[in-house]
Amino acid sequence: MITVGVLGAHGRMGSEACAAVEGAEDLELVASVDIGDDREALRAADVVVDFTHPSAVADNLRWCVDAGRHVVVGTSGVGHELLDEVRGRLQPGQGVLVVPNFGIGAVLMMRFAAQAARFFDSVEVVELHHPRKADAPSGTATRTAQMIAAARAEAGLGPGPDATTHDPDGARGATVDGIPVHAVRMAGLVAHQEVLLGTEGETFTIRHDSLHRSSFMPGVLLACRKVAEHPGLTVGLDAFLDLD
């Protein structure tokens, strides 16, 4: 039996994760912690799962690592600096898994986007989410853009063609590692993303839709089961899936 604690337990993802853990025969939910609660309860957990807020995740992650817990981070907004710091804080045998998106389709979308990126002149990312989301661009879009940029750099490709010289309102969107990223917030949506690729006479669109937060739960449970078997810091669920 693997014991699990959830941070952000009252939130949209945290509550879903608590229910999923409670429904799994090989996992036991031993701590449900939300804002204002004492994190000490998490010491009873082999694995702590964080679904809190981009402004809270760094402090939580430091606390969990220093408490010697294995950690699964679902919260968005974990940047390179924090990853480097965490790597240096880890104790031998301790596993931390940071997952921009637990959906299997989203993991594949990111992979396929990176695979396709070198074959097209242009590539842009459009992420679409529910309007209660705190951060933009999404963690998934950021990770996708980073993977695309790395693949293009490896192939010796730079940014896509773009004649824009006048964009006073930022209509061309943000850029992540040089890749344009656009964020839509709209009532009725959950979590969606399109990767648009184009070259002479041809376009290619990769789209993923999470229609319900249950889509993330198989990935969350897999992460809880496997994180202790992967000591060190891992980014992305890919490493825990047999994708090749």
Ligand X SMILES: O=C(O)C1=N[C@H](C(=O)O)C[C@H](O)C1
Ligand Y SMILES: NC(=O)C1=CN([C@@H]2O[C@H](COP(=O)(O)OP(=O)(O)OC[C@H]3O[C@@H](n4cnc5c(N)ncnc54)[C@H](OP(=O)(O)O)[C@@H]3O)[C@@H](O)[C@H]2O)C=CC1
Name the token pair of 42. 């998490």
Provide the 10 A C-beta neighbour count for residue 192. Answer: 20
Query: Which residues within the stretch 44-103 sit at the binding site for ligand Y (CB under 6 A)?
Result: 51-54, 56, 60, 74-76, 99-102
Range in contact with ligand X (rule: CB under 6 A) among 22-30, 133-141, 194-202, 220-228: 133-141
Q: How far apart are CA 179 and CA 150, in angstroms?
A: 10
Which residue has the CB atom at the shortest distance from ligand Y?
A: 11
C-alpha distances in Å from residue 236, one per residue of 72, 74, 156: 10, 10, 25
Cα 64 from Cα 243, distance rounded (Å): 29
From the candidates 129, 182, 192, 208, give the one annotated as an active-site residue: 129
Residue 112 marked in a binding site: no
Closest distance of CB 129 from ligand Y, Å: 8
CA 218 to chain centre: 15
Burial-class residue 80 by CB neighbours within 10 Å (0-12, 13-18, 19+).
Answer: exposed
Is 100 annotated in a binding site? The answer is yes
Please report whether residue 193 would count as binding ligand Y according to CB under 6 A. no
Task: Tell whether residue 129 is a contact of ligand X (CB under 6 A).
Answer: yes
Is position 219 an interface residue for ligand X (rule: CB under 6 A)? no
Instruction: Indicate whether 76 belongs to the interface with ligand X (CB under 6 A).
Output: yes
Joined tokens for residue 30 = 């031993």
Is 140 one of the binding residues for ligand X (CB under 6 A)? yes
For residue 133, indicate whether it is catalytic.
yes
Measured from the CB atom, is 228 or 235 closer to ligand Y?
A: 235
Identify which of 210, 229, 225 has the alpha carbon closest to the alpha carbon of residue 13. 210
Residues labelled as active-site residues: 129, 133
- Which residues are at the interface with ligand Y (CB under 6 A)? 7-8, 10-14, 33-35, 51-54, 56, 60, 74-76, 99-102, 139, 216
Binding site for NAD(+): which residues? 8-13, 38, 74-76, 99-102
